[in-house]
Amino acid sequence: PDILLPKQARYQTTLHAEDGNITDFLNLCQCRCDKILFFTTNILFMSAHIIDGKQIANQLLEEIKTNIIQRLQAGKRAPCLAVILLGDDPASAIYVRNKRLACEKTGIVSVAHNLPASTTQEALFALIRQLNADDHTDGILVQSPLPDHIDETEILALIDPAKDVDGFHPYNIGRLAVRQPLLRSCTPYGVIKMLQASGIALKGLDAVVVGVSNHVGRPMGLELLLAGCTVTSCHRHTKDLAAHIGRADLIVAAAGKAGLIKGEWIKSGAIVVDIGINRLPDGKITGDVDFAVASQRASHITPVPGGVGPMTVATLMENTLKALELREQA
């Protein structure tokens, strides 16, 4: 009997053969052998589904755009995002430009505050207080990294939590920790939305997050906990990273170290999300995961670039719209 068929059908196949139609039976056997060979080949050389973060992000941007058009038609105003950039770091300039383009795409009004790197902390405080008080500003974003003379922790803590669209304020991280999220950290929230859009059920998965920074790794762990995963957080003091990775159903890499996660560590069929962004000496951008080998073992994997990055920008837009809606309801 053919073990690939449901129980009843197996014996039906055998019975037909015994009825005397041996040619049909042999043809059937040939067909089944081909199928088994196909499955075996697929298992031996499994190639992961590449999650297209750009496409999922574009879909989310379209939904936000539609929502804003409906707001305007109802006589309401569009959300407004204030983006503060200090200095002329080229990478920061690219991130800020991408955020401005996403604002244009969705209909969010973006106001740029491009300040010299020499801006004092007091001057930055004054600007944030002014934006906190401005009723038409819904989101305030301070692009990191900030110059050394500025205390980033103090700056982020000064932003009104209701306008903290990056989701970095201790209040918003705390809301996530107690399972009452409001404005959620963009990158971890983007990862969750991307996995949901890919039809991946998270409940019960053994998840490993590599990296425990306040803005990425830590809220990522909280998001996965909220989604029903069993979460392990690894960091620079973790003793045996390979062993943790090898047990994981879901790996989220956020260490900022090219090639840190070896492809052969990954359990066959695991889901791999690479948040890392690393620039190689030849100028190419790569993640933390050895993509070539990992993509032969994983069931799903995100590329770098084109994976988590676009989702971060899209969830920033979602947060800006949400910040306005929440303040309207307050």
Which residues are part of the catalytic machinery? 99, 143, 166
Locate tokens 């080998």: which residue?
Answer: 293
| Candidate ranges 40-48, 154-162, 206-214, 224-232; the one touching ligand NAD (CB under 6 A) | 206-214
Residue 48: count of CB within 10 angstroms of its CB: 20
H helix intervals, 85-202:
90-106, 121-133, 152-158, 170-177, 186-197
> According to the binding rule CB under 6 A, does residue 256 interact with ligand NAD?
yes
Please give the helix or strand (H or E) that residue 85 lies within, else none: strand 80-86
State the binding string over 172-191 for ligand NAD (x if CB under 6 A, else -): ---------------x----
CA–CA distance, 37 with 52 (Å, rounded to integer)? 30
| Cβ-based nearer residue to ligand NAD, 128 or 220 | 220
Task: Say which DSSP state 51 is in.
Answer: P
> According to the binding rule CB under 6 A, does residue 159 interact with ligand NAD?
no
Residue from 162, 200, 260, 270 binding ligand NAD (CB under 6 A): 260
> According to the binding rule CB under 6 A, does residue 99 interact with ligand NAD?
no
Residue from 97, 149, 236, 279 binding ligand NAD (CB under 6 A): 236
Please give the helix or strand (H or E) that residue 32 lies within, else none: helix 22-44
In 3D, which of 322, 310, 313 has the Cα closest to residue 139?
322
> According to the binding rule CB under 6 A, does residue 241 interact with ligand NAD?
yes
| Cβ-based nearer residue to ligand NAD, 71 or 291 | 291
Residue from 108, 141, 207, 210 binding ligand NAD (CB under 6 A): 210
CA–CA distance, 112 with 83 (Å, rounded to integer)? 5
> According to the binding rule CB under 6 A, does residue 213 interact with ligand NAD?
yes
> Which residues, 266 to 285, sit near ligand NAD by CB under 6 A?
275-278
> According to the binding rule CB under 6 A, does residue 215 interact with ligand NAD?
yes
Strand order in the sheet with 250-253: 49-50, 300-301, 271-274, 250-253, 206-210, 230-234
Q: How many residues bind ligand NAD (CB under 6 A)?
A: 25
| Cβ-based nearer residue to ligand NAD, 107 or 276 | 276
> According to the binding rule CB under 6 A, does residue 296 interact with ligand NAD?
no
> According to the binding rule CB under 6 A, does residue 98 interact with ligand NAD?
no
Please give the helix or strand (H or E) that residue 35 lies within, else none: helix 22-44
Prior bond of 170 cis (ω within 30°):
no
Percent of residues in the chain assigned helix, strand, coil, to nearest 5 = 50, 15, 35
Smallest distance from ligand NAD to CB 51, Å: 13
> According to the binding rule CB under 6 A, does residue 248 interact with ligand NAD?
no
> Footprint of ligand NAD on this chain (CB under 6 A)?
187, 210-213, 215-217, 234-236, 238, 241, 254-257, 260, 275-278, 308-309, 312
